[in-house]
Amino acid sequence: MKRAIIIGATSGIGQEVAKNLLREGWQIGIAGRRQPALEDFQRIAPEQIKIQSLDVTQADAAEKLNTLIRKLGGMDLFLLSSGIGFQNPELDIDIELNTARTNVEGFTRMVNTAFDYFKQHGGGHLAVISSIAGTKGLG
């Protein structure tokens, strides 16, 4: 049985990857900040989907990720798809700091936790979607 954890599966690319993995027969664990969105997605295939509410910017996010891994019975693939980005021409410091908390601190917290799991269990696949191309383009 293949098992994947996706952080950020309640919308966008993370959700589409989750749907594709479900069609391929994977068991998946999804996590995000919005409990109702997680529960809505779980209704698609309750026998294949485990959920865990977590916020990558919070200190307890690693513990909650480990809880989701246990609920799923392990992890073969980890996908982090929870970055944020905003146009901020005024350079509002609160917007910039929130972006850094999510895209730097949250990234580090989640990827380190997944890496530690794979190291302890003999390997796995770790993938991250992280880019400003969606708002800036690559002209």
Is residue 137 predicted with pLDDT exceeding 60? no
The mean pLDDT of 119-125, rounded to a whole number, is 98
Query: What is residue 83's predicted lDDT score, i.e. its pLDDT?
Result: 81
Domain boundaries, the chain: 3-92+119-131
**Please, what CATH class does the domain formed by 3-92+119-131 belong to?**
alpha beta
Give the span between the Cα atoms of 110 and 116, in whole angstroms: 10
Q: What is the pLDDT of residues 23-78, one digit of tens each?
A: 999 999 999 999 999 999 999 999 999 999 999 999 999 999 999 999 999 999 99
- Residue 136 pLDDT grade (very low, low, confident, very high; cuts 50, 70, 90): low
pLDDT in tens, 98-117: 888 998 899 999 999 999 99
pLDDT at 139 over 50: no
